[in-house]
Amino acid sequence: MAELAPGRLVQVRSDWPEARGPAHIRTPHYLRGRRGRIVRRLGEFPNPEDLAFARPAPKLPLYHVAFDQAAIWGEGATGDELLVEIFGHWLQEVPAQ
């Protein structure tokens, strides 16, 4: 996947690897399938999903992704956001409309 630029709309993959066996997942379950906006790229870091099992861990891009709070929790004032760190392999670009 190409680098995701700030402002780019993304969707968190709706995947549940923990249902297939032991897994270490850093992506909150309540955000899977949800849309957010890239705020910034934080750098590249070893994949914690591999590190947890002592497997070779490729470096992956990590992003700050903002989500509309009301869309996630059903409450909050206009403009309230959740800011979450999510690795790039969990993000899918949303096509421009």
Q: Which tens digits make up the pLDDT trace of 56-97?
A: 999 999 999 999 999 999 998 989 999 999 999 999 999 876
Instruction: Work out the burial of residue 21: count CB atoms within 10 Å of its CB; fewer than 13 is exposed, 13-18 middle, 19 or more buried.
Output: exposed
- pLDDT at residue 46, as a whole number: 96
Q: Which domains does the chain have, with CATH numbers?
A: 9-93 (2.30.30.50)
- pLDDT at residue 24, as a whole number: 81
- pLDDT at residue 63, as a whole number: 98
The kind and range of the H/E element at 68 are strand 59-68
- Residue 1: pLDDT band (50, 70, 90) is low
How far from chain centre, in Å, is Cα 12? 5
Contacts of 89 (CB under 8 A, 6+ apart): 1, 47, 60
**Distant-in-sequence contacts of 73-77, Cβ < 8 A, 24+ apart:** none
Q: Which tens digits make up the pLDDT trace of 14-67?
A: 988 887 887 788 899 999 999 999 999 999 999 999 999 999 999 999 999 999
Query: Model-level pTM?
Result: 0.90
